Copies of this chain bind each other. A is one copy, B any other.
Amino acid sequence: VMSSSSSSSLEIEIFQYIDAHQSDFIKDLKEWVAVESDSVQPHLRKEVMRMMALAADRLAALGATVNLVNLGSHQLPDGQVLPLPSVVLGELGKDPQNPTVCFYGHVDVQPAKKGDGWNTDPYTLTEIDGNLYGRGATDNKGPVLAWINAVETFRALKLAMPVNFKFVIEGMEEAGSLGLEKLLEEEKQSFFSDVDYIVISDNLWLSNKKPALTYGSRGNACFFVEVECGRKDLHSGTFGGIIHEPLLDLIALLDSLVDSTGHIQIPGIYDSVAALTEEERRSYESIEFDLEEHRNNCGVNKFLYGTKEEILLHLWRYPSLSIHGIEGAFHEPGIKTVIPAKVIGKFSIRQVPHMDLSVVEKQVVEHLEGVFSKRNSPNKLKVSMPLGAKPWLADVNDLLYKAARRATKTVFGEDPDFIRDGSTIPVARMFQTVTQKSVMMFPIGAADDGEHSQNEKISRHNYIEGTKLFAAFFLEISKLH
């Protein structure tokens, strides 16, 4: 499996150690998966706490200085107050000659139970046909351990550490990373002051087989469009035909947003989208992406575009607008002949570099107010943007990406796909904004790992080769520094 032709003897020694200790690494993953560290369900919060302590112990065993930072508590919608799990900050090595790489991961998981449709117990790591099934196997306990395994390998072989390590491990990622951004801000001048690079390994390859590096994600600007005619819902027999129905206004407003080809109709919205460079366009050609598989995954008959390049461009680096639904109108099965008095349309724009959130907001508001004013409706219109998450984009020419590309070539024998994510990755953007350091998403899981799904897994291959990948990356980033 390993393409060792171009590997150095140091790499060969490291890789042999990793291969020889596969069972130990899998045993560690089995122990971590056994902890039901579900951060979503309140009654399991103590298991998340226990998991944080295990992660802290594991880092301490590497020789790292470990700080469990208390983030206080949070209140649930039902009024219950729960403690937040501490964030683990770890440091290993302080050689000023070495670059300092900070790794972020999380050890909390999504809910899972056998009855959801799992073939095996979700909290008992089970190997079947080379796959390691268990909740958290790929999201994100496996990758966190792969990083730790890689550091551990250097330590076990008594090799000089090629980099200084920092670790940020949290236990609330699946519940919105509560308190994390505040902690990053607070640690900006201290913990992060000497960090050169940030690596996040909390996503997947685009393909089942081909490695990838993730260098960008779209943002998410969410909009509410509220139209109101009065205080109470009305009977469609008694008022149908004589009033300006708010839902008719709203539907006309929503219908003005996108045409049937998927093109957003808001004037100016594409003006500041970063121009597509020739280099960037070429980078799409080699990406492994099975259109048919992707189509089957979502179950639609046909995409808006016919080629891999067009699909990926529209998923990653062009904005899209989706309408999610309407609050206040009749939504149950059956018939209710009501004229809703106040309706709120919900839509979002996945915006891309270099779209400015405040400009997007202004364009949306002006467009909707323009459409509304043409209707001469006496109703009240209110447009708001309750959430605006920015896109994230790294420079693929950063040393971080060079090192990761070389390590991938060494371990997997091929160049990684350079990919983005159509979804928003708040943690990447958060690290980039707060620390102003170069950020890379460095996945080791495959596209079919089923994160958040039943039968989540990481393959033994990806887990072990991923450990090698991180070790090789340490050597490469050290060499490039």
Contacts and interface: CB of A to CB of B under 8 A. Distances in A.
Contacts of A379: 300-301
Interface in A203-239: 218, 220, 222, 229-232, 234-239
Nearest to A240: B320
A329 B340 CA distance: 16
A350 B241 contact: yes
A341 B299 contact: yes
A387 interface: yes
Nearest to A224: B335
A286 to B, nearest CB: 20
Contacts of A237: 218, 220, 350, 421-424
A304 interface: yes
A280 to B, nearest CB: 17
A60 interface: no
Contact of A236 (B251, B255, B320, B333): B320
Contact of A240 (B222, B245, B321): B321
Contacts of A301: 229, 378-379
Contacts of A234: 298
Contacts of A386: 335
B377 A300 contact: no
Chain B CB within 10 A, most for which of A220, A320, A322: A322
Nearest to A352: B241
Nearest to A333: B327
Interface stretch (A106-114, A178-186, A310-318): A310-318
A321 B335 CA distance: 14
Contacts of A375: 260
A177 B165 CA distance: 76
Contacts of A424: 237
A322 B339 contact: yes
A460 interface: no
Nearest to A243: B300
Interface in A425-453: none
A248 interface: yes
Contacts of A300: 229-230, 239, 243-244, 378-379
Given A237-B218, A424-B237, A326 B331 contact: yes
A252 interface: yes
A355 interface: no
Contacts of A341: 299
Contact of A248 (B249, B258, B348): B258
Interface in A286-340: 298-305, 311, 314-315, 318-327, 329-333, 335-340
Interface centre among A241, A325, A331, A332 (most CB of B within 10 A): A241
Contact of A243 (B239, B304, B335): B304
B251 A255 contact: yes
A378 B311 CA distance: 16
A331 B327 contact: yes
Nearest to A345: B251
6 contacts: A238-B298, A242-B320, A243-B304, A248-B323, A325-B329, A325-B338
